[in-house]
Amino acid sequence: MSALLEVSGLSKHFGGVQAVADLSFKIEKDEILGLIGPNGAGKSTVFSLISGVDKPDSGRIILAGTDITGKPPYAIAHQGIARAHQIVQPLTDMSVLDNCLVGACYGHDDLSLSAGRAVVREVASMVGLGDRLDVPAGQLTTAGKKRLELARALCGRPRLLLLDEVLAGLNPAEVDRMVEVILRIRAGGVAILLVEHVMRAIMQLSDRIVVLNLGRHLAEGAPQDIANNPAVIEAYLGNPKLLAAAGPP
């Protein structure tokens, strides 16, 4: 069976800076793949290339057998990829429901408003916003806005969900609750590509981890293998105790 997403030989320059260099990896259906690396490693660029925000200089991105390389974001959303951003930007004067409708009506299934509302209620309940649908998005807490960002992406009914540091800025209890939500999303049949600096969470969530350094593929494997990889420790962590403190996956 072929992978859900296949990235092959992906490269991207910005001026004289090579952000991503000849990168290849795969994501299987229903898999959570972690993507880690030091600041400037190219993680956000990879997300932008997959979601269509940027076009690669070379390489291919194949989703379920369809070449989506260089397609615009709206076309990629219709193909079944959604992205939740690290810096949340909700439509603050609109309700939680209406924010999520944007994702539902412009996502993979291209839903009508009535069908979209049903999806929003289902997703909002899953992420813990079921009782906040009529609240203006601007009144949510930081954790609530993170949940809204996740819900808006999930309402697009994606096959692949790109999560860009959705745990950033959350306290430990909020991180634990969000980890539970992410696991429920995967259990519902959605594959996830996860960029995260909360090592305890990414070790717990990921089936496999790909490590980038200076835009290049440095290492790949199960979480515990990555935790014990000397090249990863040197390039990304600098101190083996940091990964050890994350605890077992």
129-178 residue pLDDT tens: 999 999 999 999 988 998 999 999 999 999 999 999 888 888 899 899 88
Whether the pLDDT of residue 242 is over 60: the answer is no
What is the value of pTM for the model shown? Answer: 0.89
Q: Measuring CA to CA, how many Å separate 209 from each of 32, 36, 108, 183, 232?
A: 9, 7, 26, 16, 11
User: How far, in Å, CA of 165 to CA of 106, rounded?
Assistant: 23
- Quote the mean pLDDT of the chain: 89
The pLDDT value given to residue 238: 56
Q: At residue 122, does pLDDT exceed 60?
A: yes
Cross-strand bridge partners of residue 192: 32, 161
Q: What is the pLDDT of residue 68?
A: 97
* Residue 65 pLDDT: 94
Q: Which residue has the higher pLDDT, 16 or 49?
A: 49
pLDDT at 107 over 70: yes
Residue 58 corresponds to which amino acid?
S
Split at pLDDT 50, 70, 90, the class of 235 is: confident
The whole-number pLDDT of residue 34 equals 96
pLDDT bucket at 179, cuts 50 / 70 / 90: very high
H helical segments located in the chain: 43-51, 73-79, 96-105, 113-127, 142-154, 172-187, 199-205, 223-227, 230-232, 240-244
CA distance linking residue 132 with residue 50, whole number of Å = 31
Average pLDDT over residues 9-30: 95
The string of pLDDT tens digits covering residues 28-67 is 998 999 999 888 889 999 999 999 999 999 999 999 999 9
| Mean pLDDT on 9-16 | 94
pLDDT of residue 40: 85
pLDDT at 237: 56
Predicted confidence (pLDDT) at residue 245 exceeds the cutoff of 50: no
Q: What is the pLDDT of residue 236?
A: 64
pLDDT score of 247 more than 80: no
In this prediction, residues 207-218 reach a mean pLDDT of 94
Contact (CB, 8 A) for 103 and 154: yes
